[in-house]
Each structure stands twice: as C-alpha cells, then as structure tokens.
C-alpha cells in the first residue's frame, strides 16, 4: 500500500507544471557551503515562489521515496547508479593535497589529517619513515578544513575548496586525486515537473562554468 501511494504521489508531482511549491535538493555539504550557494541564491531570486530546501547533511536521500526531488552526487563508477534514476552527467571532481599557506602555522613536521575512517596514504607513510608522526583524525569536512587552516597538518580535499581558500596552498610535488563525476539525478516521474527541470538545467549550466575549478585547473588563491 505504501509503495502504491508513493507511486501515485510521484505521478501527480510529475504532472505539476507550476512555478511555485517545494523543491528539495540533496547534495554533499562541501558543495552546498563552498561552491553552489551563490547559484542557489540566484535561482531563488529568479523564482521567488519556489521554496528551496537544501538537504546537505551528508546522508543519502532516497529519490524514489520522494525524500528529495533532485540529487547532486559524486559518482566514482557509473555502473553503481540506480537504474530507476535519470542522470545528467556533470564535470569531473578532483582533489589536491593542501597545507596552511603560512609555514609558521605548522612548523617543520605537519601531521596528516584524516576524515572518518580514512587511512594515511602510503606515500605519506613512506615520507615519514625517518620520523613517523601520528595522524590527526576528524569526523567531518568542517573540522578537516578548520584543522588544516590552523596548521595541524596537510590533507586531501576538493580543489574547489582548497584552491579558493587564501589560507591554504597545494603541497608541492603532489598529484591530484580523482573523486569521481558529479551527476544530477532525478526519479523518472519527478523529472517531468517543470520546476525540477528548471533547477536541473540551471545547476547543470553553473556546474559547467565551475568545471575548471572542480578539476583543479584554476590556480590556488593568491
């Protein structure tokens, strides 16, 4: 019964061609806070009767159950995308290794900052063979960013954050790290809703403009 009710609700929503009402968007917290908020603000100004709700807690919303209408997800392997979702491929997302710009902030022995259950990379362990330093562990992106800004050590983070931050600089001689591809995802019926189509096209265009920054092709902040 619940599944049938959800399917009916989704079909009704798909027929909604109005430019007013609720529109839920789920996306990773760094994308919301450090890249796309100005773009969402522009969309809200263009369409003042659309109620935007950004779900950026980091939890994966279920589009089929209408927990969100549009999802921005970083996908490493396209084959992992659910078959019932409609996907619009966006730019590639890359990360770099960053440290505080002021060397006095971290001294001569910066630690490696890890997030969640991530491990210390092999190349870091190899470089520390002569004098290993214990890692500094945090549980979320905000803490990771604060730690590297405060000079705790170095860490991998998205280029769109690290390169745009005047307090950070890429570690010389390190390679870029591929996170995956950004996809804009909608459920089959939901994507027919006019305001969902408008926001999808709007964000896709803005992501295209951000592509060089997302790929680490724009130099670090001066």
Domain extents in the chain: 2-92+179-214, 94-178
In this prediction, residue 2 carries a pLDDT of 47
Task: Name the pTM for this structure.
Answer: 0.84
Q: Does domain 94-178 match CATH 3.40.50.460?
A: no
Tokens 């760094």 identify what position? 30
CB 71 within 8 A of CB 26: yes
- Predicted confidence band of residue 110 (pLDDT cuts 50, 70, 90): confident
In this prediction, residue 8 carries a pLDDT of 40
Mean pLDDT of all residues in 20-38: 95
Any long-range contacts for 14-19 (C-beta under 8 Å, 24+ apart)?
14/189, 14/190, 14/191, 14/192, 14/193, 15/192, 15/193, 16/193, 16/194, 16/195, 17/193, 17/194, 18/194, 18/195, 19/47, 19/49, 19/50, 19/194, 19/195, 19/198
On the question of a common fold for 2-92+179-214 and 94-178, the answer reads: yes
The CATH number, out of the four listed (1.10.510.10, 3.40.190.10, 3.40.50.2000, 3.30.450.40), of the domain defined by the range 2-92+179-214:
3.40.190.10
- Predicted confidence band of residue 9 (pLDDT cuts 50, 70, 90): very low
In this prediction, residue 141 carries a pLDDT of 95
In this prediction, residue 117 carries a pLDDT of 79
What's the rounded Cα separation, in Å, for the pair 51 and 81? 28
In this prediction, residue 108 carries a pLDDT of 65
Choice between 91 and 108, residue whose per-residue pLDDT is larger: 91
pLDDT tops 50 at residue 107: yes
Mean pLDDT of all residues in 145-174: 94
pLDDT tops 50 at residue 10: no
Mean pLDDT of all residues in 90-109: 85
In this prediction, residue 199 carries a pLDDT of 95
């Amino acid at each position: 019964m619940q599944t049938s009710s959800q399917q009916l609700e989704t079909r009704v929503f798909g027929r909604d061609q109005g430019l007013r009402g609720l529109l839920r968007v789920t996306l990773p917290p760094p994308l919301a806070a450090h890249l796309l908020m100005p773009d969402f603000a522009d969309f809200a100004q263009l369409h003042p009767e659309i109620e935007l709700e950004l779900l950026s807690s980091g939890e994966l919303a279920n589009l089929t159950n209408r927990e969100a209408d549009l999802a921005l997800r970083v996908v490493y392997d396209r084959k992992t995308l659910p078959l019932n979702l409609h996907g619009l491929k966006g730019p590639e997302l890359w990360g770099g290794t960053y440290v505080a710009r002021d060397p006095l902030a971290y001294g001569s022995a910066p630690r490696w900052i890890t997030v969640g259950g991530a491990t210390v990379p092999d190349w870091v362990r190899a470089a520390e063979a002569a004098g290993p330093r214990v890692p500094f562990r945090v549980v979320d992106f905000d803490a990771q960013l604060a730690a590297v800004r405060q000079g705790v050590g170095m860490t991998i983070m998205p280029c769109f954050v690290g390169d745009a931050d005047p307090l950070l600089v890429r570690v010389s001689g390190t390679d870029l790290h591929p996170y995956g591809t950004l996809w804009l995802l909608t459920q089959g019926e939901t994507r027919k809703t006019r305001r969902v189509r408008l926001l999808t096209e709007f964000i896709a265009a803005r992501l295209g403009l951000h592509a060089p920054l997302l790929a680490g092709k724009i130099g670090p902040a001066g």
